């Protein structure tokens, strides 16, 4: 479907979406035209997108492949420490330029017909450009500089590499806002090392996972482990910071739960159980940031998550794979100056999250449950009223304010 037709279709079906942030129609997770419009208006629009860590590309010529929405991207370290990013698509016949996850190169050569690109994505040479034996080859009017993949602007904060295709995107710090930037720097305050990574396929629309990580209300209800072992309960101090435009958020849980807290038991909630750990050292956490925050989950619109659960640190990247599928890219990190004891602690606590994580295994299921549950209810509406009807910071996690913030920003980008 052509771009104009996609836009027109998205606007037509979006005309029935009533104003406000507390009702969201389920067709948003089902319509292929919406998916295509998202690629144009959000992923190729004036937003910033996480690509990789600076630690992934420390030296000249180091590269890592990534995604912005469905678009494959290469991030590479250039001269004098500069970072470049460009579409991972050969300008000749559209093949991937780089198909390894990472590596080190002097330049890039497409495997299909050997078109060669420098570290900035400029086309440098074309095999047999002048033909063979005076026959064939490209026309004399062919100019290397007229051909190449799309290039992206790049910016960094706290060792995170972001990129955008749009010249209209604001500076990254303006995009994040001071509160979210400070929350990123709180965690990523010194050089990091990658200590593990994997990709988790999920059977749901990408927006369902974004809602999930912005939904602070579900954390101690869905996740048996959280409440049972008192990592986060709604009776603990903390709250939700939502950026002024609603796009980004950071939720925090502060301090520990008093032993006599009976909030969950009194309401007979599933998340309070008699389970115990055979190895209690799994939760042997230390306050490494000096602020008694046990848990911080931070999102950057549209698809990045920065996680601190005790001493388990990770970056998650959401990659759409169609209307009802996505990949979740996990990168576990520690600090370059970690002691042996701290690194062991981080690796042990990494068992809290991921596909089989004691905390987050339910997150791998719940999005699929929603996708299946709404299959025949495209015109029905979800109810997002916990904590009010606005997208503002609140001194509680018993709220869906950050979810409403996502939809506020989404509607603005999509024109719905």
The region, left, alpha or beta by phi > 0 then psi within -120 to 50, assigned to residue 369 is alpha
Domain ranges of the chain: 52-157, 190-414
CATH number of this structure's domain 52-157: 2.102.10.10
Mean pLDDT of the 6-20 span: 69
Give the E-state strand segments of 247-387 in sequence order: 249-254, 293-300, 304-309, 312-320, 326-335, 381-383
Tell me, what's the pLDDT at 271? 59
The DSSP bridge partners found for residue 328 are 200, 318
Q: Assign 377 a pLDDT band (cuts: 50, 70, 90).
A: very high
Predicted confidence (pLDDT) per residue in 141-152, tens digit: 999 999 999 999
pTM over 0.85: yes
Does the pLDDT value for residue 282 go beyond 90?
no
The residue to which tokens 């460009």 are assigned: 86
Instruction: Give the DSSP letter string of 259-271.
Output: TT--HHHHTT-TT
CA 122, distance to chain mean position in Å, is 28
Rg (CA), the chain: 23
SS3 content of the chain, % helix, strand, coil (to 5): 30, 25, 45
- Least confident stretch, 32-41, 228-237, 258-267, 372-381: 258-267
Task: Pick the more confident residue, 227 or 308.
Answer: 308
Residue 268 in tokens: 């007979």
Residue 284 in tokens: 């042997």
For the domain made up of 190-414, give the CATH fold. Naphthalene 1,2-dioxygenase Alpha Subunit; Chain A, domain 1 (3.90.380)
What is the separation, in whole angstroms, between the first and last Cα of the chain?
A: 19
Q: Assign 259 a pLDDT band (cuts: 50, 70, 90).
A: low
């Amino acid at each position: 479907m052509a771009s104009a037709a996609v836009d027109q279709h998205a606007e037509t079906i979006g005309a029935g979406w009533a104003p406000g942030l507390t009702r969201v129609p389920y067709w948003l997770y089902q319509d292929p035209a919406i998916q295509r419009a998202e690629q144009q208006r959000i992923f190729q629009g004036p937003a910033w997108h996480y690509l990789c860590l600076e630690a992934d590309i420390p030296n000249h010529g180091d590269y890592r492949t990534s995604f912005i929405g469905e678009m494959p991207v290469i991030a590479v370290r250039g001269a004098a420490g500069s970072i470049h990013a460009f579409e991972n698509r050969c300008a000749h016949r559209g093949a991937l330029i780089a198909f390894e996850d990472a590596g080190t190169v002097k330049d890039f050569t497409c495997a299909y017909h050997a078109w060669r690109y420098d570290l900035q994505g400029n086309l440098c040479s074309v095999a047999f450009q002048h033909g063979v034996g005076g026959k064939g080859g490209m026309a004399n009017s062919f100019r290397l500089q007229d051909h190449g993949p799309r290039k992206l602007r790049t910016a960094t904060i706290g060792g995170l590499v972001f990129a955008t295709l749009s010249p209209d995107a604001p500076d990254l710090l303006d995009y994040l806002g001071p509160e979210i930037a400070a929350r990123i720097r709180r965690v990523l305050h010194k050089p990091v090392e990658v200590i593990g990574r994997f990709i988790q396929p999920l059977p749901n629309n990408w927006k369902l996972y974004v809602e999930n990580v912005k939904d602070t209300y579900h954390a101690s209800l869905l996740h048996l482990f959280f409440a049972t072992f008192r990592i986060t309960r709604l009776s603990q101090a903390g709250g939700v910071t939502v950026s002024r435009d609603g796009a980004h958020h950071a939720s925090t849980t502060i301090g520990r739960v008093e032993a006599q807290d009976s909030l969950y038991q009194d309401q007979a909630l599933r998340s309070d159980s008699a389970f115990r750990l055979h190895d209690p050292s799994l939760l042997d956490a230390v306050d490494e940031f000096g602020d008694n925050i046990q848990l911080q989950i931070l999102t950057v619109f549209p698809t990045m998550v920065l996680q601190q659960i005790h001493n388990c640190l990770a970056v998650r990247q959401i990659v759409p794979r169609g209307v009802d599928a996505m990949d979740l890219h996990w990168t576990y990190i520690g600090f370059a100056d970690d002691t042996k004891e701290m690194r062991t602690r981080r690796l042990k606590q990494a068992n809290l999250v991921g596909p089989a994580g004691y905390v987050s295994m339910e997150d791998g299921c719940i999005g699929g449950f929603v996708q299946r549950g709404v299959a025949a209810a495209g015109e029905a509406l979800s109810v997002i009223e916990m904590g009010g009807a606005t997208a503002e910071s609140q001194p509680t996690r018993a709220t869906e304010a950050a979810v409403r913030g996502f939809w506020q920003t989404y509607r603005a980008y999509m024109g719905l």
